[in-house]
Amino acid sequence: MKDLINRGKEVFMNTYSQFPLVIEKGDGVYVYDSKGNKYLDFVAGIAVNSLGYNNEKLVKALKNQLNKLTHCSNLYWNEPAIEAAELLKKYSTLDKVFFCNSGAEAVEGSLKLARKYAKKYLGNNKTEIITMKNSFHGRTFGAVTATGQTKYQKGLGPLLPGIKYCEFNNIKSLEDTIDDKTCAVLVEPIQGEGGIKPADVEYLKKVRKLCDKNNLILIFDEVQCGIGRTGEIFAYQHYNVKPDIVALAKGLGGGVPIGAILANEKAASGFCPGDHASTFGGNPLVCSAAKVVIEEISDPQYLENIKKQGKYLTKKLNELKSKYKMILDVRGHGLMQGMEMNMPVKEIILECMDKGLLLVGSGERIIRFVPPLIIQKKEIDSAIKILEDVILRVKYLND
Ligand SMILES: Cc1ncc(COP(=O)(O)O)c(C=O)c1O
């Protein structure tokens, strides 16, 4: 394993701080390293492998599609893309879909659409977009500017002009930031990289009202929290608030790279032919996977299990919190949970990995739990057992 990692270090740019683990294959909620060691996976490729590994239906659909057609460009139509888009329309409150390849690209396209809409209908002056402090929207220039955390922007300036930030979960802050140049508001219903922080229900409702009052496009970034992760197909469905645009990616392809912009008729009318494009976007291979993912997670029983297991995970994490003072908070929705600690969590995560449990941080002091959506009670019990053993050891060392 060390040899392979050293070879990787020779050839990759120095962008990631990677765990010393080479993953070779996966099955269900487990992955295996190149020595055959088994790990219970509460990372799921960072909230991507929604159906788990080696899912029979997903593999079959991908193999079938590979045998037929992988790519044909958007010069032509393809059936898997149309079917996947129809499903997204069916299960959302939105009307039109644009497929792309990643979360950043979905956000980037959403920002473009909002500006295009405003220019077309509201005049040249309406160009500003308000995003939230502590948010994360991706690494392209538009998305990283929209990201309300300076650590991701260091050394990149000048950033995209016309982006303003306000406090998340603070309606007064948004109210004070809106002016006559504002055209859109971008918000994650649950901040993911910002430490698993759900928006308050009343807050999101008021955001919608403010957008309506000021004629602003409301964009939800559901790249991490969407596609079943919270127990509803879209996180916004918990809030009873309808966005104008939603950005999706991660779990949508169950492991293959696909992103999507969903928009209602009104917002979508901002784009005309030639305004936006993506060579790979909506190719039949990735869309055949997205179709399976949406069909699976839209099954009420599937969503019910996510809700049930999400509640169980929350309960078990809260039990740990009541036992150990070093745990400050447990929060999240469904199978997107965060546990805030009074110390950096990297060592805990590394020790859990050594004991066969994969976890990932969200910020320095928060452990994130985003397992495949097929996770069951006994696997949650196993994860909690490993985590508690590690916490006990860390506590012993610190006492
Ligand atoms: C909420 C949110 N938006 C956008 C992104 C960017 O997605 P990608 O890494 O696919 O570009 C992420 C990635 O973590 C995310 O969590």
Which domain-ending residue is among 297, 315, 347?
Answer: 297
Q: Which of the four pLDDT bands, split at 50, 70 and 90, describes residue 44?
A: very high
Q: What is the mean pLDDT of residues 363-390?
A: 98
Q: Does 360 sit in the ligand 1 pocket, CB within 6 Å?
A: no
Q: Is the pLDDT of residue 398 over 90?
A: no
Q: Are 161 and 268 found together in one domain?
A: yes
223, 252, 368: residue to mutate for ligand 1 pocket, most atoms within 8 A of CB: 223
The β-bridge partners of 248 are: 260
Q: 338, 331 in Cβ contact below 8 A?
A: yes
Q: Are 9 and 147 found together in one domain?
A: no
Q: Are 31 and 61 found together in one domain?
A: no
Q: Does 336 sit in the ligand 1 pocket, CB within 6 Å?
A: no
Picking from 355, 388, 396, 238, the residue whose alpha carbon sits closest to that of residue 307 is 238
Mean pLDDT, rounded, of the chain: 97
Catalytic site residue from 42, 96, 221, 316: 221
Q: Which domain holds residue 228?
A: 56-297
Q: Does 142 sit in the ligand 1 pocket, CB within 6 Å?
A: no
Q: Are 329 and 183 found together in one domain?
A: no
Ligand 1 centroid–CA 36 distance in Å is 30
Q: Are 246 and 269 found together in one domain?
A: yes
Q: What is the mean pLDDT of residues 29-49?
A: 97
Q: Give 112-141 pLDDT, tens digit per residue.
A: 999 999 999 999 999 999 999 999 999 999
Which atom belonging to ligand 1 lies closest to the Cα atom of 138?
6
Q: Residue 9: CB partners within 8 Å, gap ≥ 6?
A: none
Q: Are 31 and 42 found together in one domain?
A: yes
Q: What is the mean pLDDT of residues 362-374?
A: 97
Q: Helix, strand or coil for residue 358? A: strand
Q: Are 73 and 22 found together in one domain?
A: no
What length is written for the chain? 399
Q: Are 15 and 109 found together in one domain?
A: no
Ligand 1 centroid–CA 103 distance in Å is 4
Q: Does 244 sit in the ligand 1 pocket, CB within 6 Å?
A: no
User: Residue 397 has what pLDDT?
Assistant: 79
Q: Helix, strand or coil for residue 307? A: helix
Q: Is the pLDDT of residue 394 over 90?
A: no
Is 221 known to be catalytic? yes
Q: Which of the four pLDDT bands, split at 50, 70 and 90, describes residue 1?
A: confident
Ligand 1 centroid–CA 136 distance in Å is 7
Q: Does 104 sit in the ligand 1 pocket, CB within 6 Å?
A: yes
User: Residue 395 has what pLDDT?
Assistant: 80
% residues pLDDT > 90 (the chain):
98
Q: Give 178-232 pLDDT, tens digit per residue.
A: 999 999 999 999 999 999 999 999 999 999 999 999 999 999 999 999 999 999 9
Number of domain units in the chain: 2
CATH number reported for the structural domain that contains residue 69 in this entry: 3.40.640.10
Mark out the alpha helices in the chain (DSSP H runs): 2-11, 44-47, 56-68, 79-91, 103-122, 141-146, 171-177, 201-214, 265-268, 284-297, 300-323, 346-354, 377-398
Q: Does 256 sit in the ligand 1 pocket, CB within 6 Å?
A: no
Q: Are 152 and 247 found together in one domain?
A: yes
Q: Are 307 and 283 found together in one domain?
A: no
Catalytic site residue from 250, 271, 291, 369: 250
Q: What is the mean pLDDT of residues 330-355?
A: 97
Burial letters 325-361, b for 16+ CB under 10 A, else e: eebebbbbbbbbbbbbbeeebeebbebbbeeebbbbb
CATH number reported for the structural domain that contains residue 315 in this entry: 3.90.1150.10
Which domain-ending residue is among 237, 269, 297?
Answer: 297
Which atom belonging to ligand 1 lies closest to the Cα atom of 225?
1
Ligand 1 centroid–CA 69 distance in Å is 28
* Whether the predicted model's global pTM rises above the 0.85 cut: yes
Range of weakest confidence among 33-37, 56-60, 261-265: 33-37
